[in-house]
Amino acid sequence: MIYEWIVRPVLFRFDPEFVHDMTVLAGRIGGSNPITRAIIRTAFSYSNPALEQEVCGVRFPNPIGLAAGFDKDCKLMHVLPDVGFGYEEVGSITAEPYEGNPNPRLTRLPEDKSIIVYYGLKNCGARVLRERLKGKHCIPIGVSVAKTNKDFKTLNAKIADWKEGVQLLKERGDYITINVSCPNTFDPENFNDPKLLNQLLKGIGELKTRKPIFIKLSADLTTEQLDSIIDVCDRYSFVKGLIIANLVKDRKKLKLKSPKHMYEGRKGGLSGKIVKPYALKMVRHAYERAGDRYVIIGCGGIFTAEDAYEFIRNGATLLQLITGMIYGGPATIKRINKGLVRLLERDGYTSISEAVGAATSRQRRL
């Protein structure tokens, strides 16, 4: 309540990218010594055995992860466990560093609980991140890898760049995400296209990474397109999961409440509450189609424990968020995790894994 009534109104008076940068700085300071970490942990951390899972051989203390796009350059990994996250995904990282698209790169739409994101894969590059990720971590770390946002002359050159990024990072973190769904690059070729995805995964397979590989998909896919992508993934045993979903790019299907002047002419994909119905539908379809073969990570419009539980019951084993935390504050993760335990107990479950897919026509055997 303090955050929503006092802190957020003040923060929302400032440029959103400035606030983001200051939040990262504050997080780095907070995670830099055991005293501040203990204070943060006392305020925000929450644990319960019912929230623990082992997924693809990795132990997750709870299902709530920080999605790629917030801690792009892995500066917050020391403080996020104390804020209550069960894991984080850094990046998206590209083989070469990229300074990002022109400003404005973030635009708030408070009436829609959404943010227009136009970073364009701004990041420090795979070589820098590889050094930062050395050693052990307190929570699982996923590494999201994308294609450098620059002009490539051939398809082979694009795939070679992607492979270079994965090669540099394949021994870091606990899993690798192949982000084929960033809506903010100037490349007209979309690797959600099954033919292009097949060629990309064929190249990734040559690297023989031992880490589980997840594919991050667009929120704009139809069920037919999703089926085609699953068919491609079935050819590659190293693909272990699907992250559903990224930002919404197609605004024609959205019914925005915010005044038109707030978003007209602003480039980028949209996050937040408006993504939820599209992501949830895709999660359910993917689970019913392939929940016995792939881990589903739900992402898009998760603000409350009820949102999180709905994704879980529709097939998501793990969850990710960013916008929910921006609008709800740092206590959001604790509220969601405590609420999940309450909802599990209400329905007679002793663990998250028992509830996965409970609202669908099938339940995956874990």
Q: What is the DSSP string of 94-150?
A: -SS-B--SSSP-EEEEGGGTEEEE---S-B--HHHHHHHT-S--SS-EEEEE---SS
Q: Which of 65-74, 302-311, 355-364 has the weakest average pLDDT?
A: 355-364
Q: Is residue 197 part of a domain?
A: yes
| Domain hosting residue 58, numbered range | 2-355
Separation between Cα atoms, residue 254 and residue 366, nearest integer Å: 36
Separation between Cα atoms, residue 149 and residue 151, nearest integer Å: 7
Length of the chain measured in residues: 366
Separation between Cα atoms, residue 69 and residue 144, nearest integer Å: 9
Q: What local confidence, expressed as pLDDT, does residue 366 receive?
A: 40
Over residues 85-92, the mean pLDDT reads: 97
Q: Is residue 360 part of a domain?
A: no
Side-chain half-sphere CA neighbours of 279 within 13 A:
33
Summarised one tens digit per residue, pLDDT across range 155-198 is 999 999 999 999 999 999 999 999 999 888 878 678 989 999 99
Percentage of residues in the chain with pLDDT exceeding 90? Answer: 93
Over residues 44-58, the mean pLDDT reads: 97
Contact 120, 173 (CB under 8 A): no
Q: Is residue 268 part of a domain?
A: yes
Write phi, then psi, for 83 (nearest 5 degrees). -75, -15
Over residues 269-291, the mean pLDDT reads: 96
Q: Is residue 365 part of a domain?
A: no
**Predicted confidence band of residue 110 (pLDDT cuts 50, 70, 90):** very high
10 Å Cβ neighbour count for 186?
9
Summarised one tens digit per residue, pLDDT across range 1-27 is 789 899 999 999 999 999 999 999 999
Q: What local confidence, expressed as pLDDT, does residue 363 receive?
A: 57
Q: Is residue 200 part of a domain?
A: yes
The amino acid present at 261, given as its one-letter code, is: H
Q: What local confidence, expressed as pLDDT, does residue 365 receive?
A: 43
CATH number, position 53: 3.20.20.70
Higher pLDDT, 190 or 333: 333
Q: Is residue 243 part of a domain?
A: yes
Separation between Cα atoms, residue 31 and residue 88, nearest integer Å: 15
Over residues 111-117, the mean pLDDT reads: 97
Separation between Cα atoms, residue 220 and residue 235, nearest integer Å: 23
Domain count within the chain: 1
Confidence check: pLDDT of 122 > 90: yes
Sorted by sequence, the CB contacts under 8 Å of residue 194 that are 6+ apart come out as 225, 228, 229, 231, 232
Over residues 274-303, the mean pLDDT reads: 97
Q: Is residue 366 part of a domain?
A: no
Q: Is residue 364 part of a domain?
A: no
Confidence check: pLDDT of 83 > 80: yes
Summarised one tens digit per residue, pLDDT across range 57-75 is 999 999 999 999 999 999 9
Over residues 76-102, the mean pLDDT reads: 96
